[in-house]
């Protein structure tokens, strides 16, 4: 019986943690409030609603961004199988399995193509799967080399 090994759990990077988000929203809200008071004092009270709308739109945009950060890709390897499980931000999982001896990792730097859009693709028997689409180009190169070595070992 073969033992599965989790090679990697890939997730999108979020540079602003929840504490930083709270601080940023507090600053934006404070600036909007002070600006709103200034506009009310000069008689331009209808503008205050737009300051509140700006705060709500920024909050909504960050919440959408954090939600998409819930995406996960779990890469597992055993004696015969490479298994990729993609978990959506909503928690739905989809799994692909490849024979580890037949699967090929395709990622090469093509100077003619835009550097950021070069996918990391697994191929086997006519099937293809793009993985790690949210990684930076350098991370894709590093991960593709790691995955190739793991498949050969």
CATH of the domain at 116: 2.30.29
What is the tens place of the pLDDT at every residue in 60-94?
A: 998 888 888 889 999 999 989 999 999 998 889 99
Burial of 81 (0-12, 13-18, 19+ CB in 10 A): middle
For the record, the structure tokens of 110 come out as 């093509």
Percent of the chain with pLDDT over 90: 55
Could you tell me if 60 and 37 lie in one domain?
A: yes
Domain assignment of residue 105, given as a range: 5-13+71-152
- Do residues 74 and 85 make contact, with C-beta atoms less than 8 angstroms apart? yes
- Do residues 143 and 10 make contact, with C-beta atoms less than 8 angstroms apart? yes
Categorize the per-residue pLDDT at 110 as very low, low, confident or very high, splitting at 50, 70 and 90: low
Q: How many CB atoms lie within 10 A of CB 112?
A: 4
What is the tens place of the pLDDT at every residue in 115-145?
A: 566 789 999 988 999 999 888 888 888 999 9
Could you tell me if 64 and 105 lie in one domain?
A: no
């Amino acid at each position: 019986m073969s033992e599965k090994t989790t090679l990697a759990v890939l997730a999108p990077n979020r540079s602003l943690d929840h504490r930083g988000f709270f601080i940023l929203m507090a600053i934006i809200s404070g600036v909007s409030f002070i600006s709103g008071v200034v506009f009310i004092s000069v008689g331009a009270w209808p503008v205050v609603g737009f300051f509140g709308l700006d705060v709500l739109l920024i909050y909504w945009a960050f919440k959408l961004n954090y939600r998409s950060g819930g995406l996960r890709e779990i890469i597992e390897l055993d004696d015969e199988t490479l298994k990729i499980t993609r978990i959506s931000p909503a928690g739905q999982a989809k799994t692909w399995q490849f024979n580890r001896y037949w699967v090929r990792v395709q990622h090469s730097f093509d100077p003619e193509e835009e550097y950021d859009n070069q996918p990391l693709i697994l191929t086997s028997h006519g099937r293809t799967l793009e993985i790690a689409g949210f990684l930076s180009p350098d991370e894709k190169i590093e991960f593709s080399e790691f995955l190739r070595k793991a498949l050969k070992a």
